[in-house]
A and B are shown apart, each in its own frame.
Chain A
């Protein structure tokens, strides 16, 4: 079931092939994976409300509820990546430069998770369950999925940066954003792609990012709330 999703996702080379991105964005959403929706809902609302509005010059002072949504959205992406690299390390199928990349980058992504969780405190969303469908045990599949994840994360952070109201949170998000770009360059080189394929990196908005993540079927269950049980019907 998930094979097509994985293959499509692996091929989603955002930097060089807008056509793939387009087709990915048209894939039907995977409703069982409500992951990201709650977090991104807030981010998207902010995007609609504030995006690129001139005259918000002095607004970056404290955090806002929109910022919390964006930070949770970031946390969701970091959960996804951290779990991916952690599992890949545990599977032990990677060797040499690829194993080293997974180890170093995985540690960064886990640090990002810790950081956003610490900042969000009790407002942090919980980690969902993931099923990477064997991608983490296959070096070729790992490599191309990692390329897609890192380019996706770079584009996702870029899409939210102008919406962040708090200067502190903006600085934090940007300090992570450029590291995601470094990760992308790193794994692209190991995959035989140009580390920097074009002069300008495009942003992706939250709905597109969510569509792409859902299309992979990597997210199997939203983190259970205390009462959620195993119901797939996520409504948050």
Chain B
């Protein structure tokens, strides 16, 4: 939550400055004004973050992005499984972990199957009291689900259309999870008119404490 605020702040001006060099300047500025800068940020983040593999989507780039998606799904599936094992959740929080955990597991299976032999090995995860303390659990769920949808949104423009169509079936489910978790945390499920995308590096910094 405070994490989210930080990410948004980091992004606002950076996106603007860099895209102002682009050929789509005038239209982009209209979009920026209209949608609060976030959409522009996504296009810009996407354009900058993958430049080493050339501009535009490609099957190789799809693999890279799907591997990140697989990592996020594995992390979340492990998180919910760990929380259920810890046995401290009750009521709707327990239902949330049970329902969402199964869906994350389905995402893992889907993404692993899509990647086939190109799928990375799963790292080990550890969650500390994020899965044993109900309040920490919900706060962490909000953070992970929000990060997941935001990095999908940020990377979508780098996907080939077929892979994009598949990823879009997952990203809105992540958004539903984030909304549900926020409701359980006593927050508005949808805090803004647009979801601000984040970069791969921003996503990795959020999940790094749980890996290794």
Contacts and interface: CB of A to CB of B under 8 A. Distances in A.
Given A57-B56, A161-B164, A179-B175, A196 B153 contact: no
A232 B171 CA distance: 39
Given A167-B43, A176-B194, A181-B176, A196 B156 contact: no
A171 B24 contact: no
A79 interface: no
A58 interface: yes
A189 B102 contact: no
B190 A199 contact: no
Contacts, number: 211
A198 interface: yes
A11 to B, nearest CB: 20
A50 B169 CA distance: 19
A114 B175 contact: no
Interface stretch (B25-33, B113-121, B123-131): B25-33
Given A62-B24, A162-B162, A168-B24, A175 B196 contact: yes
Contacts of B43: 167-168, 170-171
Interface stretch (A1-9, A24-32, A86-94, A200-208): A200-208
B195 A158 contact: no
A105 interface: yes
A52 to B, nearest CB: 5
A51 interface: yes
A195 B176 contact: yes
A140 interface: no
Given A168-B40, A175-B35, A196 B99 contact: yes
A121 B23 CA distance: 19
Nearest to B45: A171
Contacts of B102: 199
B17 to A, nearest CB: 16
B129 to A, nearest CB: 25
A182 B106 contact: no
Nearest to A173: B39
A19 interface: no
B103 A199 contact: yes
A201 B173 contact: yes
A176 B55 CA distance: 25
A108 B179 CA distance: 15
B81 interface: no
How many interface residues does chain B have, given as a range? 35 or more
Interface string A106-125: 01100110111111010000
Interface string A60-73: 11110000000000
A221 interface: no
Nearest to B169: A200
B179 A182 contact: yes
A111 B190 CA distance: 13
Interface string B138-175: 00000000000100110011001110110011111111
A62 B39 CA distance: 15
11 contacts: A54-B161, A58-B55, A60-B157, A161-B156, A162-B162, A172-B31, A174-B153, A175-B196, A176-B194, A183-B179, A189-B189
Given A162-B165, A182-B195, 18 more contacts: A52-B162, A58-B57, A62-B27, A104-B190, A111-B36, A121-B30, A162-B168, A172-B39, A174-B42, A174-B197, A175-B39, A176-B193, A178-B174, A186-B189, A195-B179, A195-B180, A195-B189, A200-B170
Interface of A: 50-54, 56-63, 100, 104-105, 107-108, 111-112, 114-119, 121, 154, 158, 161-163, 166-172, 174-186, 189, 194-196, 198-203
Interface of B: 23-24, 27-28, 30-31, 33-36, 38-43, 46-47, 55-58, 99-100, 102-103, 106-107, 110, 149, 152-153, 156-157, 160-162, 164-165, 168-180, 183, 188-190, 192-197
